């Protein structure tokens, strides 16, 4: 089997959708920008294969909160992952392209759903993800 281009925890699918250049540290933000702008939002992003994982992923790699395969906020992250996996129908080992992921998000997550789906996320109040979700729905 061909290795995936990226590995994401379930909640990172929506984080990537809402990314707007902010992050936990300069290294984290640069890595996220490289993933989002250099891969997923590039012309070939629709062919980028993402594998669902249950531990630290490619986004977590430079995060100052990462501790090996876990996070300083592991319980919160696990709850976010569980809610997102259930909402998006994701399981560890699933592989999908970014286009397929966006189609799933469009089908499964309506504008306004993030207030419950992302409860506990420090970025929620900024409204970046909600705005990105609305834009995704407007594309249909």
Tens of pLDDT along 23-77? 889 999 999 999 988 767 655 557 788 999 998 999 988 888 888 887 888 888 8
Tokens standing for 28? 């984290």
Average pLDDT, the chain: 90
pLDDT above 80 for 104: yes
The C-alpha atoms of residue 131 and residue 32 are separated, in whole angstroms, by 18
Of residues 131 and 139, more confidently modeled: 131
pTM score, two decimals?
0.91
């Amino acid at each position: 089997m061909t290795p995936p281009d990226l590995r994401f925890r379930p909640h990172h699918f929506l984080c990537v959708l809402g990314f707007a250049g902010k992050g936990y540290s300069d290294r984290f933000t640069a890595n996220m920008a490289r993933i989002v702008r250099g891969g997923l939002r590039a012309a070939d992003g629709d062919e980028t294969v993402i594998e669902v994982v249950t531990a630290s992923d490619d986004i977590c790699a430079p995060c100052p909160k990462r501790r090996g395969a876990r996070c300083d906020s592991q319980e919160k992250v696990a709850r976010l992952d569980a809610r997102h996996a259930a909402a998006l129908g994701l399981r560890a080992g699933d592989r999908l392209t970014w286009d397929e992921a966006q189609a799933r998000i469009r089908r499964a997550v309506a504008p306004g759903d993030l207030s419950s789906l992302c409860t506990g996320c420090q970025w929620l109040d900024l409204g970046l993800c909600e705005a990105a979700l609305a834009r995704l729905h407007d594309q249909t």
